[in-house]
Amino acid sequence: MPSIEAPVSSGIGEGAALSEEHLDRVRRLAAQLRVDSIRCSTQAGSGHPTSSLSAADLMAVLLLRHLRYDWEQPHLAGNDHLIFSKGHASPLLYSMFRAVGVVSEDELIHTYRQLGARLQGHPTPVLPWVDVATGSLGQGLPDAVGVCLAGRYLDKLPYHVWVLCGDSETAEGSIWEALDKASYYKLGNLTAIVDVNRLGQRGPTELEWDLDRYAARVQAFGARPLVIDGHDPVAIDQALAEARDGGEQPTVVLARTIKAKGVPELEDKNGWHGKALPPDMAARAIAALGGPSDLLITTACPPPGAPAITADPTAPITLPTYGPGEKIATRVAFGAALAALAARPEVVVVDGEVGNSTHAEEFQKVCPERYFEVFIAEQQLVATAVGLAVRGYVPFASTFAVFFSRAYDFIRMAGISQVNIRLVGSHAGSEIGEDGPSQMALEDLAALRAVHGSVVLYPADGPSTAQLVAEMADTDGIVYLRTTRGAYPVIYPPDETFPVGGSKVHRAGPHDQVALIGAGVTLHECLTAAEELRSSGVAVRVIDAYSVKPIDRDALVQACRVTDSRLVVAEDHYPQGGIASAVLEALADASVPVLKVAHLAVRGLPTSGTPAQLLDAAGISAAHIVDAARRLLAA
């Protein structure tokens, strides 16, 4: 092993021509990145070395010449951002981390892909130099759009966002959503570097090395294509310098590369995607590349700067108030509460061209500078929120609840990234009425409950919605609020509190015979049913399960002990994964009497109709709740 060299400064003159000395450094660094990518993946017995080798020259030039980053202060406001959208090239990324001195050789070679190690198969923010989890292709570039929006419009800092993309992932529509919105918002601080190595997982990519067609597509979406040889350091350097000086247009560097570059046995050969080199082949390749080395580099420091907007959780907020009996749609109350949150400078809003229905536009009316419209592009909607959260903002992203299903993988990956985003889905359930089943979110509670680190809230009236919107701003994780289309009577006083994980119990007594459990629209049905049951002499309590995840286990256990576990759960959702599932999961290991549960849910495919007709047809109206309670008592 060669001796460790003194740190090589990258301050070698951005924009100046590469000298022979600089070219030598680039070549040595690229060789080290290739060797380390092979070493760590061969040691692990798995990984994607060939996808890493093709991009090594690109990343060597970026590190040495163009990336402005203080590795000891990864959260420094002025740092550039580097996102590996092709997250499977993690051997290359981690080799870069070794080259700048933040990951040791031992950690790289001996812990990559091992249980409990932070160098996972695909990068996650467990590493402080990684902004977002990637590996589900087509996500890194959309996330970068949110980071760039923060830099251009909020932080007003000159940092640049560099994204390494694979050619295969350009088949994902989300890539083009990202370029479209980056062009619309004039994000000249964004550069995508596409590693066009021709080969995908099972064979050639769609366009192979047809760089002209790539360029035409990029240009059609409003970005600037730069076509280069991805193994020519001079061409790479010139392209990255031009990209950094991008003005108001995002840049896409289309780099023609060779998969497995540097390993003649494998160059441009199909069948090696996602396969580590066997030890004998790895030894030959490493020797041909000059053997292991310990080149240590220092990247350029970012210019000084601080975010223009800092969080102020103490900012006074005046939430909307509603009087007893007043009818208000929870989506309307959401919009009013969101507008009140404009007093907090860290709150930003992203909407999917339905702000007049979600009522997110109420925020735009009072704070247009922190409102971003991404139009009908739900993947980019969620990705924008993720990118804004990376920069420390509190983003609320809203659309019709059913449309979040189009962005579910982005929500799932946001859970892996452990970012803090707030999602608000309106027009949920069969209650929406005449629009019919294509517009009815009947799976959303199940989907969002399944996401790692998520919180799921479902208010029933104006005051509870307003309080929960304020609560969302200070709740970590992925927080989802489900709102309804129709207007319903106010139940709670304006100063009632609604902590996450809580519930509200109505008319509870020591002799209750049955508990009715609902949330949102079905809470109103449960309250109506309770009045009819009480009029016939049945003692009944009603539980408002406004916090679906986490659900109030203590209130459920208490209800079971009082009612001999007679529970009626009514929900405007399909039977799988919703409120009843949350209830039964919470009680699975509880010390309560044997459960006697009636579960009322939307079990068929709804049609068009009035809200009242649809609730009754689904069997979740007050009359059906009364019948279910009586059947439990008779049994």
Q: Annotated catalytic sites, by residue?
A: 378
Is 417 within 8 Å of 448 (Cβ atoms)? no
Residue at token pair 């790539």: 214
One DSSP character per residue, 573-597 reads S-SSSSHHHHHHHHHTT---SPPEE
| Tally of CB atoms within 10 A around 407 | 24
Residues 6+ apart with CB under 8 A from 297: 7, 8, 9, 10, 29, 63, 64, 99, 100
Give the residue ranges of DSSP H helices in 150-265.
173-184, 211-220, 233-244
For residues 136 and 245, what is the distance between their CA atoms, to the nearest angstrom?
30
Q: Which of 99, 36, 61, 83 is nearest to 178 (CA)?
A: 83
Q: Which of 230, 264, 224, 267 is nearest to 247 (CA)?
A: 224
| Sheet of 504-506, strand order | 504-506, 540-544, 514-518, 566-570, 596-600
DSSP 72: T
One DSSP character per residue, 495-507 reads T----TT--EEES
Sign of CA dihedral 240, 417, 385, 572: positive
Strand partners, 505: 543
Residues 6+ apart with CB under 8 A from 273: 48, 50, 51, 199, 200, 201, 202, 259
DSSP 369: G
